[in-house]
Structure 1
Amino acid sequence: MGLKFVQWQIHETTVQSPFKMTFGEEPQIGLESYVLPKSLVGAAKTEEEIEEFLTSQEANDEETRKEAALGQSRAAAKMTRRAKKMLIPLQIGQNCTLRVPDVDRGPADPKNFLVVVMAECEGLYTVGCREGKLASKFTAADLQVISENILSIDEVPDTEIPLRTAVTKATGGQGYVKCMCLSGCSSGRCSCSRKRVLCNSRCHPGKSCNNI
């Protein structure tokens, strides 16, 4: 198509052309696009006219930014409405599986974690597990409903814990805890001993260990 046609296209979100977003005004066509003789330009550039031109240009830039911001707000509201239509609201007491991010689980920990919906506020759900109530809030897209009711709200302790801690307690895995001790893990400086977990194959390769 070429730049000649693209610069007149209206963006769906900002409702403005790329040229106006860049320069604060619509592209000039016709006689306005021609370069005037220097004699006419010099005669027109008085101090008042230059000040008026700069002031109007700043006003155009500010108005362009406001229109673009309004367009982005409308697009965000449209996406929110579309997401609410696609996602089915969850019910209090429903059992769901929560996908555990890779950064919150060890290599042997499960990818999905059983939780129960405890509360809802503005589209964000508070969920709990047998280890406690998770500190983070989740959307309906983060939770996958299951048909069985394995866990009830009464079984959830009142204490709030991070997701990583809950997964580690539930699986009994070591998570990301490891040590690089050189003294046999017999002192209080051993990170595994402080966490009250046993050392594994990732700890201090080739060294003796008293914490196995």
Structure 2
Amino acid sequence: MTHGKPRHPQSQGSVERANCDIKDMLVAWLSDNNTTDWTVGLKFVQFQKNSSYHSGIRRSPFAALFGSDAKVGLTTSALPHYVIHRLQSEDDLLAVITEETTSDEPPAVEPPAVEQVTAEPPAVEQVTALGVFCTTVIRVTAEPPAVEPTSPLSVRQKNITSQRKCACEAQLSQAERMVKRSRRNMDRGNVGNNVTIPIPMVDRGRGDPRNIMGIIMDIDENDNYTIAVKSGILSGKYTRNQFDLCTYELYSKDHVTTDRIVSLRTAVQQESKSGGQGFVKCNCAGSKRCQTNRCLDLHHDSPFGGANLELSSCSGV
């Protein structure tokens, strides 16, 4: 499961949603226990979060990982219910556990005997040279099927595999429902439509616009869109909820570049009038400040002079 990049908060929706839920649960635990020691409550919140039913995978995360529900208290243990009801203290529990540990193993139960079935096929008559009919009977003996021994470890492994497979199928079903809902609520884009893509704050400078305009170049079978802008084709594919369709067709395919692939930040920097993301300055000092070709080129290219230069130094150049 991909949660996105650390510098791109828009792609970390699942992580941020989980953090909000954990924060709310931790606040409730602190209020119920009248304490401020939140580090102690993290263990209880973690267990409650992992053992709760999840509608996406249709089971708890604990069951999807370990193949069985979380064990809470003696009611979910292997002890019989009539033994649990008779327990009055911890000494009674220790006595029951010690008794089961020291008791002899129960005798092996032999499987019921399987009777051999003899099939009596109809007699086959043969004619000899003397005209006498001879009868031949063929007896077929069926052997009992072999019973493979099953260990608790193999049963647990089968349960884990089954639970994980069902959880994966439930996630795929949830994704299909999300796609259907998106298609119902949003108009589908076509190849050649003009779109505007929101630019994250980490990818744009202070003087850059909030959106960048592009054209839809391709749509795959999963409704993922390939978008091209003036500087090239944007790396990665976009879903319908990541851009807006333009009312008017302002760009054509002649206005975009399709011979190279660029990132969104690179595309914004090339179309920016203020240098793009980041405001750094020159680190040169002294009487010969900014006299090398490197710093002079940076000063010349920057519209703001030394206020938007790449961090550099003339020493050693």
Worse overlay, 73-82 or 194-203: 194-203
Which sections of structure 2, spanning at least 5 residues, go unmatched?
1-50, 70-74, 85-95, 110-149, 311-317
Distance 1:18 1:132 in 2: 42
Tell me what 1:179 maps to.
281
In 1, Cα distance between the equivalents of 2:297 and 2:281? Answer: 6
In the other structure, the counterpart of 1:12 is: 55
What secondary structure, in the 3-state scheme, does the structure 2 residue paired with 1:138 have? coil
The offset of 1:164, in angstroms, is: 2.2
What is the match of residue 269 of structure 2?
168
- For the 8 Å contact 1:97–1:144, the answer to whether it is kept is yes
Secondary structure of the equivalent of 1:190? helix
Q: CA RMSD in A?
A: 3.8
Amino acid in structure 2 at the alignment position of 1:39: E
Where in structure 1 are there 5+ consecutive unaligned residues?
Answer: 1-7, 205-212
Larger-Rg structure: 2
Deviates more, 1:102-111 or 1:155-164: 155-164
Q: Which amino acid is the alignment partner of residue 275 of structure 2?
A: Q
Structure number with greater CO (CA < 8 Å, separation at least 6) is 1
Indicate conservation of the 8 Å contact 1:179/1:192, yes or no. Answer: no
Could you tell me how far apart the structure 2 residues matched to 1:191 and 1:70 are?
Answer: 60
Question: What is the SS of the residue equivalent to 1:169?
Answer: helix
The 1-side partners of 2:194 and 2:162 are apart by 50
Equivalent residue for 1:84, pick from 144, 161, 183: 183
Shift of 1:195: 8.8
1:26-105 equivalences under 5 Å are 28=76, 32-33=80-81, 34-35=83-84, 36=96, 38-43=98-103, 45=105, 52-105=151-204
- Give 3-state SS (helix, strand or coil) of 1:185's partner: coil
Percent identity for Structure 1 against Structure 2: 24
Following superposition, the deviation at residue 28 of structure 1 comes to 4.4
Q: Say whether the 8 Å CA contact 2:231–2:270 is kept in structure 1.
A: yes
Pairing of 1:182-193 with structure 2 (within 5 A): 182-183=284-285, 184-190=289-295, 193=298
Partners of 2:168 and 2:238 in 1: CA distance: 28
The aligned amino acid for 2:268 is V
Number of aligned positions between the proteins? 195
Output the CA distance in 2 between the equivalents of 1:116 and 1:20: 45
- Aligned 1:101-180 pairs, distance under 5 A: 101-122=200-221, 123-160=223-260, 161-175=262-276, 176=278, 178-180=280-282
TM-score for both structures, normalised by structure 1: 0.69
Q: 1:120 to 1:45 in 2, by over 3 A?
A: same
1:201 and 2:307 are equivalent in the alignment:
yes
Contact 1:178 1:192 in 2 (8 A): no
C-alpha displacement of 1:16: 3.4
| Partner AA of 2:80 in structure 1 | E
3-state SS of paired residue (2:284): coil
1:121-159 CA distance string (max 9 Å, x none): 232222223333333432221211121211111222333
* CA-CA distance at 1:107 after TM superposition: 0.9
Please report how far the alpha carbon of residue 194 of structure 1 lies from its aligned counterpart in structure 2 after TM superposition: 8.8
